[in-house]
Structure 1
């Protein structure tokens, strides 16, 4: 039998990852909606929001308890950022418990009314599936990374029944540099996941009948794009601030009470914040423009158009807080879903407000969808994902031009102000982001100093003399010798040129101790220094080799530019290999 090629084997595994990813997506959606239905069935909306405001707190608490009690000793992270970090710094390895832990915790969080999305958890679960399938078969880094991306694509595809958006998400967020062959496994996993998810859970995300866009409304799409872009900058900034707020709370249960109670109060005033928020968007798409106010404390004013607009704007800003509180407080979810909801609310408020002014009659559902694409594009720095996701979930490409305009302008505004997306900002600041714009810095940040330390040097004792070690010095292949004491503390160095000069009689000192002959190194590298800082020291003094010591000054070895360059080349090859 002819041996199966690596590429064909990878395609087969992509089928497997897509199948499991689709099952995981269907399971997550089904479990979440089962919990939500069990809590909400046969209960009037106005009663639910008066009594059930405590449910999100319960969901966050159960999620935290699950992590602390059932994942003892295992690290649990949520969102897309840990996936990007795994690719950059963990050889694309994601712990296997994420396959099911992401599903359980996010279903509990969102099912109980947590104001966040399921898309990031299912992408994380799918990535864990792909990573661990690849590791089970002992595949290389490039193949593990590819199957990880296939799993993420399958998760997004299954969540939205949108195979193209799933594939593009993986390329834009996880594989920023790609080649044509990378499409094949991604297409397979994404398409298969969409099929499986639709078979098991066929309910589409939105029902809408969009009409073609009008040229006369083009100017207003540009205005919407500007508003969306500015809002995404606000949300990205707020996200970092909320993380700082919650980082000051050390006790995890105090985070639960703080976020849960704050979320409950927000839901009490703004009912649309309960759960994912897709129901509110669907009602708006169905033409029920007063629905966002109808079930609130201000329902008596739902017939006043400007009250609806103002209340929607307030709900928009409350949603940004609610989603971040849910995630930072211990609930598991992402900002993928909230981005869509916030963009939809802003698009609705804008179009409905313009219509009330009498300037022009805009198609409100079209602007809702364009707002969703713009928000996703700006917040995630993924314009193609935003465009194709909305195009797929609306069942057509009638809005392609407005989607392209709003998504691209929103992305450019956010990218101009915020160099990095909400997912990559923290990694960029810590030097853990695999960036293709500053490849030197990125590759150096991937290096660990301990892996490039060289130790094959002859060690000289302070009381010894050049004559005592004459044979070792002559036969050494190194031109530098460390002088260390009995505690291995580095006392100095001496170069072979000077030692040869002494042994040949050109310089006195053949019987002098090495302690008296020792030279102070131009600089010393600490074992915990970052490689970027190491190279800065070498370049500053134009040296090719420096000694490395620990925190107590004990000699560990030397680091040379030659070793760094060899490692640099190996990392570059590894970094690009999975894209070939």
Structure 2
């Protein structure tokens, strides 16, 4: 049955290729991905908001507010249970790092369950008060749609990668109603190389998702009322950018510290209890930390400068400016901890929305303090918006995404210059201390990251040594008579021969040219054994080595070919520069044929 289905699908593909070019077919698929990702974004937002409304408004119980301390832990618990019982055959991972790994090392294969599992788990986590965002899950869901559609239709790696990027762009476009930001995000974060033909599928996918999502949600996320920016405020935008750049460095370091803390807790339910109680306490003290936190930013943009403190147990002191300032500053740092605790304890979500919230709060408190001091009069809303763009650009290492996303979701295109200045400076500050973003550092440390800057490393990282090992070289054992193996050695047309013991352990090599010279000169050539001619190899390659280290060894030894062994010193074959370079050229040609 399965074979018949595969054959039927192959026949359809062959017919399609004869009628529609790959480029046009990808455009059609991009629209399909856009529709499906737009529906996924709408489903995620709707499900999350329904859970929030049920817990906060629809469900009436005299003592329900005491459960607000436990809601985040309950959400994480349900998320972990869902993963345990419904996702058994594959690994469930959160954030954008697994998606980048899939592009880099798994031929853009994103597990099918991500299409729905990301939506369900993120809605539960955030709906119950988990302090994360919905954007990373919807990006993964959209990318999974593109990946599995491409694999189902038998497309090539580059074409599937294109659909993965289309799904990610569509996810952002659907979540924020921001198609331009979706395109820029896909280009900055996911695509190893951008080509002009790739722009069309991205554009159509993002635009389609935005239209589909808008059928369900027509309300703009943020409303910005501004008269524009003033030239004398540019100095303060620079100061804000430096502050956010430094904060982004702190956030990156805190990310690894919190991850390390939860990594030491081995039992998953212990993580839930520890993380849930920490998160519940933080949400109780700082209500802004509940869920995504966009409501607070909306209040601040409307001029309600007490929105951060009003719903907290400290609201009675909201008339004291110093306390408002202190409370907001603490909230900023607690938001970072709450987000990382939610993820470390087992919840699903991303740092996309938290970056916006933290940046917006920094922009607010900076402008608020300057205005209170009387040094200058700054437009607080403008600085909130600039802070959001700067934080997103610095933390994610995606400055263009930060600029265009904030401009789109606030309607603040009039602030394009301040957005560009603050985002560029904050990104530069972060990049000076952190070469890689929080999404890419783990992959970069393992050598598993596709690099825009080092194309050789990028291509080599896609190549697997096991597929380049040549096993047709002659092999003899230490005690073999050369005369009895001579026919095999000559017919192989190879200039080198491997030598092993009777157990297959690698002992060295025999160079065929030296073997012939010895046979010409040795009177007892019929009694010549392999151990007499064996030489130590210049170096050996372990079958688990990456191609970059293989080439480095070859350069160090000035060798064109080296033997390959496993961890037990068992001989596996030879690898040559010729095989590596041929594969390298083939990959380059496949990349150049991106949209052909």
Match of 2:295 in 1: 279
CA displacement at 1:43 relative to structure 2: 8.3
Q: Offset at 1:49?
A: 6.2
* Contact 2:41–2:138 (CA under 8 A) maintained in structure 1: yes
Q: Within the alignment, does 1:85 sit opposite 2:85 as a pair? A: no
Going from structure 1 to structure 2, the CA distance change for 1:81 and 1:363 (only over 3 Å counts) comes to same
Task: Decide which of 56, 59, 63 is 2:79's aligned counterpart.
Answer: 63
CA deviation after TM superposition for structure 1 residue 421, in Å = 0.9
Distance 1:381-1:460 versus aligned 2 partners, 3 A rule: same
Q: CA deviation at 1:51?
A: 3.7
- Residue number in structure 2 paired with 1:409: 425
Render the CA deviation track for 1:5-52: whole Å, top value 9, x for unaligned: 1111111111100000100000000000000000001689x9876540
| 2:531 counterpart residue number | 515
Indicate whether 1:315 and 2:331 are aligned: yes
Counterpart of 1:381 (choices 397, 420, 429) is: 397
Aligned to 1:434: 450
In structure 2, the residue corresponding to 1:405 is in which secondary structure?
helix
SS at match of 1:547: strand
The unaligned stretches of length 5 or more in structure 1 are none
The within-5 A match list for 1:550-565 is 550-565=566-581
How far, CA to CA, are the matches of 1:319 and 1:47 in structure 2? 26
Against the structure 1 CA distance between its residues 66 and 529, is the aligned structure 2 distance closer, same or farther, given a 3 Å change threshold?
same
Structure 1 position 541 matched with structure 2 position 564: no
Contact 1:420 1:428 in 2 (8 A): yes
Aligned counterparts of 2:396 and 2:24: Cα–Cα separation in 1: 33
Structure 2 residue 448 is the aligned partner of structure 1 residue 448: no
Which residue, 166, 169, 194 being the options, matches 1:150?
166
Match of 2:44 among 10, 19, 28: 28
Q: What is the aligned residue count?
A: 579
Q: Structure 1 pair 230/43, CA: closer, same or farther in 2 (3 Å)?
A: farther
Corresponding residue for 2:497? 481
Structure 2 match to 1:116: 132
3-state SS in 2 of match to 1:293: coil
Q: Within 5 Å, which residues of 2 pair with 1:50-449?
A: 50-449=66-465
Please list the CA deviations of residues 307-351 of structure 1 after superposition, one character each: whole Å capped at 9, or x if unmatched: 111111100000000001111111000000000000001000101
* Cα distance in structure 2, aligned partners of 1:469 and 1:109: 68
Q: Distance in 2 between matches of 1:49 and 1:370?
A: 35
Whole-angstrom distance in 1 between the partners of 2:396 and 2:20: 38
State the partner residue of 1:4: 20
> CA offset at residue 513 of structure 1?
1.2
State the TM-score, normalized to the length of structure 2.
0.94
Q: Deviations over 1:230-288 (max 9, x none)?
A: 11111111111211111111111111111111111111111110110001111111111
Contact map agreement 2:515 2:533 (CA 8 A) in 1:
no
Q: Separation in 2 of the partners of 1:179 and 1:65?
A: 43
The alignment partner of 1:399 has SS state of: helix
Partner of 2:517: 501
Report the CA distance between 1:82 and its aligned residue. Answer: 1.1
CA distance in 2, matches of 1:275, 1:31: 13
Q: CA deviation at 1:228?
A: 0.8
Are the equivalent residues in 1 in contact too, given 2:104–2:461 (CA < 8 A)?
A: no
Instruction: Note the residue ranges of structure 2 that are not aligned, 5 or more in a row.
Output: 1-14
Distance of aligned partners of 1:42 and 1:474 in 2 relative to their CA distance in 1, 3 Å threshold: closer
Deviation at 1:559, TM superposition (A): 1.2
Tell me if the contact between 1:92 and 1:141 (Cα under 8 Å) persists in the aligned partners: yes
Q: Is the 8 A contact 1:50 1:268 kept in 2?
A: no
Aligned-pair distance for 1:579? 6.7
Q: Which moved more, 1:536-545 or 1:152-161?
A: 536-545
Distance apart, 1:474 and its partner CA? 2.8
